[in-house]
Structure 1
Amino acid sequence: MSTDSASTSASARPVRVEPPMAADETAMLSAWLDFHRATLAVKCEGLTAEQLRLRSAAPSSLSLLGLVRHLAEVERYWFQHVLSGSEVQSLYCEEDRDGDFNQVDTADAEEAFATWRTQIELARTAAVGVPLETPGKKLRDGEQVTLRWILVHMIEEYARHNGHADLIRELIDGTTGE
């Protein structure tokens, strides 16, 4: 396992584009989601695999690598399973419900980032041209959810976890902001 800068070696420096001040609803929601996706990449930029695995504080299993793995799971679940109706296997949580967070000690950071980026692209593809009011093909807890709900939920999910990422990154090397 390499200790090189695992988070950025397979891709260019993350770029965050500020969401537009005025746009239609689909463009606005998509822009905010992409902004938060890029924020997570910025928080992980330049760290070694070991740094990405560093836990926030005992007894928590929260780490930057765990967040990346978790958000890959979330992207896959909401866009592939709920919206598109595909039967998808969990990426990291088949045997351990919190395997995305708990099983990072030997996880391959490069693979995790590649998987996360792939899930983002699959999510974007699943949502292209789909009206916001379109219900997903699978129910969530017996309820239908629309693409609008999924996008708002994903923005909330990333925003919450980016707050965690902020604190973890500051713990690792003192970097704040962004």
Structure 2
Amino acid sequence: MRLHSMTIKRTEPSTTADERATLEGFLDYHRQTLHMKCEGLTDAQLRTAAVPPSGLTLLGLVRHMAEVERWWFRHMLVDNSPGNLFWTDEDPDGDFHPTEQDTWESTYTAWQAEIDAARSNAAPLALDDLSANKRKSSGESFTLRWIYTHMIEEYARHNGHADLLRELIDGTTGE
């Protein structure tokens, strides 16, 4: 059974936009890329750890990115900490450990809610505005610019993992 037939169309970031639109464009591009890597797979395929002994799965990557969006754009940026989505103190990597009960639908819904919250929390801020919370180790704040750049890096790195997982699951390759 296929999950959905909706084709994800990635929007290429503008080559002439200002700095903020460029950062937001690249972040959205990478969000769309991760979604594309999951498109058309069953829940079982999305839970498949295709590179033993690693337990990494596509569903786990999406759950992780929902947590990362939540951490940076809710907790760090605006000090709104609604709790964890998928990890617990007992399983700090729980986002990477989907169970048979975890579905694309519920994971996708949570991920999109975090993306919506990220956009909403960032919208009124300037790139040089500082995060409400600070790095514990150094007491440093983060600019919104830094958070955008970090999120682009985080997605880009995990999209590389997603490329390999998808190819091993069903042979699909591509950008």
TM-score by length of 2: 0.93
Match for 2:113 among 104, 112, 118? 118
C-alpha separation in 2, matches of 1:169 and 1:103: 17
C-alpha separation in 1, matches of 2:81 and 2:109: 21
Q: How do residues 134-145 of structure 1 correspond to structure 2 at under 5 angstroms?
A: 134-141=129-136, 142-145=139-142
With 52-61 and 36-45 compared, the bigger mean Cα shift is at: 52-61
Structure 2 equivalent of residue 16 of structure 1 = 10
Structure 1 equivalent of residue 101 of structure 2 = 106
**Are 2:55 and 1:61 aligned?**
yes
Structure 2 equivalent of residue 153 of structure 1 = 150
SS in 2 for 1:169: helix
- Following superposition, the deviation at residue 56 of structure 1 comes to 2.8
- Following superposition, the deviation at residue 15 of structure 1 comes to 1.7
* % same residue: 52
Could you list the per-position Cα deviations for residues 2-44 of structure 1 after superposition, in whole angstroms to 9, with x for gaps in the alignment? xx433x37xx432200000111110000000000000001110
C-alpha separation in 1, matches of 2:2 and 2:86: 22
Could you list the per-position Cα deviations for residues 50-105 of structure 1 after superposition, in whole angstroms to 9, with x for gaps in the alignment? 00000032221110000000000000000000001112211111131100112334
C-alpha separation in 2, matches of 1:14 and 1:71: 18
Q: Tell me which amino acid in the other structure corresponds to 1:54.
A: T
C-alpha separation in 1, matches of 2:99 and 2:59: 7
Structure 2 equivalent of residue 35 of structure 1 = 29
Aligned length: 172
Q: Tell me which amino acid in the other structure corresponds to 2:53.
A: P
Gaps in structure 1 of 5+ consecutive residues: none
Gaps in structure 2 of 5+ consecutive residues: none
Q: Tell me which amino acid in the other structure corresponds to 2:160.
A: G
C-alpha separation in 1, matches of 2:13 and 2:98: 34
SS in 1 for 2:31: helix
Kept in 2: contact 1:66–1:104 (CA 8 A): no
**Are 2:75 and 1:81 aligned?**
yes
Kept in 2: contact 1:44–1:64 (CA 8 A): yes
Could you list the per-position Cα deviations for residues 111-164 of structure 1 after superposition, in whole angstroms to 9, with x for gaps in the alignment? 001100111011011111310011110112332111001000000000000000
Kept in 1: contact 2:47–2:98 (CA 8 A): no
Structure 2 equivalent of residue 133 of structure 1 = 128
Kept in 1: contact 2:66–2:110 (CA 8 A): yes
C-alpha separation in 2, matches of 1:172 and 1:60: 14
TM-score by length of 1: 0.92
**Are 2:67 and 1:70 aligned?**
no
SS in 1 for 2:17: coil
Runs of 4+ in 1 over 2 A off after TM superposition: 103-106
